Structure 1
Amino acid sequence: MKTVIGLPVDGRPVVRAQVQQLVALAEAFQLRCPEIAELGDFRIPADREHLAQWLVQQREHAAGWVLSLDMLVYGGLIPSRFIDDDEAGLRERLSLLRKLKRPGVPLTAFAATMRISNNCVAEEEKPYWNPYGADLWAWSFHTDRHALTGDGDSLTRAEAAAMRVPPHIRDDYRATRTRNFAINLAALDFVEQGVIDRLVLPQDDTAEYGFNIAERRALQAEVARRGLTDRVLIYPGADEVMHTLSAWVVGKLRGDAPLRINVLPTDAAHWERLVPLYEDRPLPLSLAAQLQAVGAVQAGDDAELLLLVHSQGHSQGDWAMRKLLPQRVGVDADAWTAVTSAPAVAVADDAHANGGDPAFVAELAAHLPLTSLAGYAGWNTSSNRIGSLLAQLVLAHGRWTAIDNQAVVALRLAEDLQWQARLRQRLRDRIDEPALPSAELEQQAQALVLDEANIWLATMGFTQRIRRAWLPWRRTFEIGLEVA
């Protein structure tokens, strides 16, 4: 048994336990992570000194490393947006990587470009995000748009948004971004010195323009200047990078050839122009980045698997934000023909953000049993779902029909399709979530999932059932499911 040592961005099941489940699909491999209680709790940062000691203790056991620099340096992805440590102290924490590196043991790492959310919800941000979040976003977006396009309207809108935000808040926000950007730049030094073998700098919840996009361009230019383009990847995403880097490390240790995948869109007429929500580029470009991240390639007649990428029209719906799918154009007939003749089929369900497409999955089930799928994903953002799905396909290569892989498919359908797209909305409609005690909220969520999602799994022919459901962050946006 080879042990990959992982440091996730936090303790949520989707970035820790579920990645461990995927790595176990590879057989003879395990992903060892700190316990959930050691990874902080939502806004509460992890004990970074303790984690540093834990990592040093794992050095002799590590066949490979997958490390969140946001957890190592800031104590978690969410704390990275508001923790007030100075840059010098954060750089010192980053230096631990030199102690962990051993010859011949791949060390991979990832650190998000700090997001800028387009709302006034301060739950995951500094307190001043309520009420200034939307104005901070507009200031960021239109400042960068004007810089690139010279558009006068964007200049006017940027200046107006900035005037609505007190100067000390603008200064604090820019200072936090500057500090975090400096840490990401410092990570490039470790790649250049051979300490980090593969570095991913994902763009967390982004748009076409913004301070974060300007940082991305600067990082890309620096990567090119240093000649690191084969070792540093920059693309939209965040929560899925633990999955993709784990798949890359296992593939490297096994000596795998790249997985050959035939990519087929369900809406070929529109998908090339579809820019998914919370991302900055058309869907095919995000897909290409995720293929590179896991070490897979697009193929034709010699493909080992068909990846059906489901989208509809020019834009996505969003279940969490109650945004309806603007356009439903149906599924190309040749997609259904290909599904019935492919050696194996996986589905990236990308018509909506934050959940799958029940209408599409019902139609899919009429063409082949869902229990035969090699993989399915429809959670959160486009890159989250595509990256995690590709990681599953790489890690379970040769074992897509195995019962433990089918259990992952059942989990993803239960979480992404049943919870995110259906049951979460139903629960939110009947409760006042902020006013409900967390224990009662979790009880209602669990009752709903254990009842309805399990009935649906049985109807679809799955032998697996949800044994337990919980709300790891005491809110309905994410859920933990134990499926067996």
Structure 2
Amino acid sequence: MLIKKLFLTIFLALLLLPNTVQAKTKLLYIPLDNRPVCLSYVTQTIVAAGYEVTTPPEHLLASENHHGNPDALWNWLIKTIPTVDAAVLSTDSLLYGGLVASRTHEFSTDTIHNRVERIAKLKNDFPLVKIYAFSTIMRTPRQSFGNVEPEYYTKYGPDLFKLTELNDKEESLGLTKQEEHQRNLLKLNIPAIYLNDWFDRRQKNYEANLRLIKYSQTRSFHFFAIGKDDDAPLSQTHMESRHLTEAALLASLNKFIILPGVDQLGLLLLTRAINDAEYKKPIVNVIYADGVGKNTLPYYSDQRLSSSIPDQIGVAGGRATEFLEEADLILAVNAPYDGITKDATYVDNLYFSSKANLKFAAQIKKLIRNKKDIALADVAYANGADNGFMLALHKEGLLEHLAAYSGWNTADNTVGFALAQGLLSRAMTSQDKITLLHTRYLDDWLYQANIRTDLRNYINRRNPNIIYDLTPQHLRILATTQRLYKDYLDEFKFLKQTSFDIDFPWNRLFEINIITNATKNDAKK
């Protein structure tokens, strides 16, 4: 009798299993803001992988001309979250109104703490929903333009950076007498009102992160990540991350992490949510181009690739391996040969393939022939692709056979995007995969590493400040950009198969939005 009951139980379980497998996880996502790398490129990836993702009405999110609305976003979240299985939340959007707002807001400490408390209570109110959240440590840029920092940062930003670099060094290494003198001069040079404003806001954000870490230890989040925004080995951002790490000693590494980069975290955590829902822990092998390789310390980061890449694999819900043969995905990292990350607009980013370029392209070709899935993180330059390497890949006919490609903004942004899209690529159709690849080539390669330079040269002859606000010449610059694209597409004809429009979503040269037909169709659904 017991045996019959056992067989009946197994039989019923098998009958129910297909329905369980077919029930796709429903996702909710609140991004940092409405930039394509945070919103449209992310949702396009998730939809291509076959998942439903719900996002807030765009007017509630931060844009180029207004901050997001934390309270309206919260109301939308509370109404929508009961309909999903997992939620990925930018706490910066829910606390301050977005990434830029986190650097410029005027909210009181009490207001911020109250918002932290309601985020922490989400899990109790909706126990069946897995909550994934990500926050940021406010960046410390060497300089900044274009209204993404307090107004005074344009003038005093370099001094603020140097001051915090010395503060961090004093705490970790100690200062020479000359450095102490230099720091005192910097304090005198920066008006006290600006120093107080900048450090007061940082303290509010720091305390919010401390509270969020505390709640990650009480299982308020299925996973919580803090990203170090535009960091440096010695800076206020680095110092705060060290203090937060010390405060989080009791936090489980399976539930919490601090890592470099911010803009990639939304897609990484959505990928983790999918892997968790499917009880998958994909295995990733990392290979590097010849040169400094894994020991590269990229610009905008305080961690070497050997440290930051395994962190990102973990955030995505994967596991790193040294053994290529057991990997589900190979992450190929095109790091700079000398370990020095320059901007993609630098004069040496030429259509000339170095020996290292050719060798790495040949290695990737062999792996693809052996049916390996390759996600390519192109981090030789910041803010765009390595032209010489892309030329080598193009000549070998490899660009349409990758699982994923990325080469935008910081090295950490690039790695996270390539990794996440690569892990999700097996669930995509061939056409969806090609569309995502072409989007990255049109943006990271043709625009960021080439057309953007051409446009800057064109604009600088007239008014250099326009690159941060295209309003006076928006239509003319858009038309010039379209003409430049036509010239490059005549050279790289394989990209012509993807029909696309372009726009400058934040009305500046720094980013472009590639709107493919696939993106338009998804928006209509």
Give the TM interval when normalised to the shorter protein: over 0.9
Deviation at 1:324?
5.0
1:361 to 2:390 alignment: yes
Match of 1:345 among 366, 374, 387: 374
State how far apart, in whole Å, the 2-side matches of 1:288 and 1:42 are.
33
| Equivalent position amino acid for 2:171 in 1 | A
Moved more, 364-373 or 309-318: 364-373
1:380 to 2:409 alignment: yes
State how far apart, in whole Å, the 1-side matches of 2:57 and 2:292 are.
44
1:54 to 2:79 alignment: no
How many residue pairs end up in the alignment? 478
Match of 1:230 among 247, 254, 262: 254
State how far apart, in whole Å, the 2-side matches of 1:148 and 1:99 are.
37
| Equivalent position amino acid for 1:330 in 2 | K
User: Greater share of helix residues, 1 or 2?
Assistant: 2
Q: CA 1:163/1:246 → structure 2, altered by over 3 Å: closer, same or farther? A: same
Please tell me whether the aligned partners of residues 205 and 279 of structure 1 are also in contact (alpha carbons under 8 angstroms): yes
Structure 1 equivalent of residue 303 of structure 2: 281
Deviation at 1:80?
0.8
Please tell me whether the aligned partners of residues 71 and 94 of structure 2 are also in contact (alpha carbons under 8 angstroms): no
Query: How does the TM-score come out when normalised to structure 1?
Result: 0.93
Please tell me whether the aligned partners of residues 56 and 99 of structure 1 are also in contact (alpha carbons under 8 angstroms): no
Q: CA 1:319/1:441 → structure 2, altered by over 3 Å: closer, same or farther? A: farther
Match of 2:267 among 240, 243, 250: 243
Deviation at 1:198?
0.7
1:144 to 2:168 alignment: yes
Deviation at 1:246?
0.6
SS of residue in 2 equivalent to 1:108:
strand
State how far apart, in whole Å, the 1-side matches of 2:264 and 2:27 are.
17
SS of residue in 2 equivalent to 1:6:
strand
- Flag structure 2 segments of 5+ consecutive residues without an equivalent: 1-23, 518-525
Where in structure 2 are the equivalents of 1:99-114 lying within 5 Å?
A: 99-101=121-123, 102-114=126-138
State how far apart, in whole Å, the 1-side matches of 2:439 and 2:298 are.
24
Please tell me whether the aligned partners of residues 353 and 388 of structure 2 are also in contact (alpha carbons under 8 angstroms): no
Moved more, 296-305 or 324-333: 324-333
Where in structure 2 are the equivalents of 1:176-187 lying within 5 Å?
A: 176-187=201-212
Structure 2 equivalent of residue 434 of structure 1: 465
Structure 1 equivalent of residue 10 of structure 2: none
Q: Deviations over 1:28-67 (max 9, x none)?
A: x122111222213236221222111100111211210110
Q: Deviations over 1:407-429 (max 9, x none)?
A: 00000010000110000110111
Structure 2 equivalent of residue 17 of structure 1: 40
The two structures, once aligned, show a CA RMSD in angstroms of: 2.3
| Equivalent position amino acid for 1:192 in 2 | Q
Structure 2 equivalent of residue 446 of structure 1: 478
Deviation at 1:213?
1.3
Larger radius of gyration: 2
Q: Deviations over 1:269-290 (max 9, x none)?
A: 3123321111112122221211
SS of residue in 2 equivalent to 1:234:
strand
Moved more, 287-296 or 390-399: 390-399
1:192 to 2:225 alignment: no
Moved more, 470-479 or 296-305: 296-305
| Equivalent position amino acid for 1:352 in 2 | Y
State how far apart, in whole Å, the 1-side matches of 2:363 and 2:137 are.
38
| Equivalent position amino acid for 2:114 in 1 | E
SS of residue in 2 equivalent to 1:219:
helix
Q: Deviations over 1:54-84 (max 9, x none)?
A: 0011121121011000000001110111111
Q: CA 1:358/1:334 → structure 2, altered by over 3 Å: closer, same or farther? A: closer
1:262 to 2:285 alignment: yes
- Flag structure 1 segments of 5+ consecutive residues without an equivalent: none
Q: CA 1:345/1:455 → structure 2, altered by over 3 Å: closer, same or farther? A: farther
1:127 to 2:151 alignment: yes
Query: How does the TM-score come out when normalised to structure 2?
Result: 0.86
Query: Aligned residues: percent identity?
Result: 25
1:173 to 2:195 alignment: no
Please tell me whether the aligned partners of residues 232 and 301 of structure 2 are also in contact (alpha carbons under 8 angstroms): yes
